[in-house]
Amino acid sequence: MMKGSQTFQWSEEGKTSFEDVKTSISHAPVLVCPDFSKDFIMYSYASAHTVSAILMQNNSEDIESPIAFMSSPLKPHELKMSQLEKHAFAVVKAVKNFRYYILNSYTVVLVPDTVVKSILTQQELGSLRGNWIVKVQEYDLDIKPTKL
């Protein structure tokens, strides 16, 4: 917000940026049908209050195209988890949500934390995280870190 006698300066750069944002938010991404002969790519993320994921595949031009989106608010008891546990939970919830797509397919899961891989593969886990490992073991997942 502008205070006092400041005036708004509308520049060509501002106009271009505004038009880019307007175009981006007015056109939804086109969802594509899955090709079960190809590998899947899943991005998962956890914020303080929400877990989310996107399931994608590379198209014929080798560009990632979205197949499905998932977002879920965390329940009160889930809000108490550490951020690391929330990221692991996001993977588990996304795998469950997209199970009909990925059950018999290789899936690369891209997560923003390198530690998430260790939390899902640790030898000594609490019952909650141990239960998560059981839930994802039936899938052909390769969990890799990425910068989002």
99-125 mean pLDDT = 75
pLDDT in tens, 17-57: 888 887 776 776 678 899 999 999 999 999 999 999 999 99
Please state the pTM of the whole predicted model. 0.72
pLDDT at 126: 59
CA–CA gap between residue 143 and residue 43 (Å, rounded): 10
Listing from the earlier edge strand, what are the strands of the sheet with 50-58?
A: 64-73, 50-58, 40-46, 106-111, 140-145
* Cβ-contact 50, 72 below 8 angstroms: yes
Q: Domains in the chain, please, with CATH?
A: 40-145 (3.30.420.10)
CA–CA gap between residue 33 and residue 138 (Å, rounded): 23
DSSP of 86-112, one letter per residue? HHHHHHHHHHHHTHHHHTTSEEEEEES
Structure tokens belonging to residue 97: 């949500």
CA–CA gap between residue 119 and residue 108 (Å, rounded): 17
pLDDT at 67: 94
How confident is the prediction for the chain on average, in pLDDT?
83
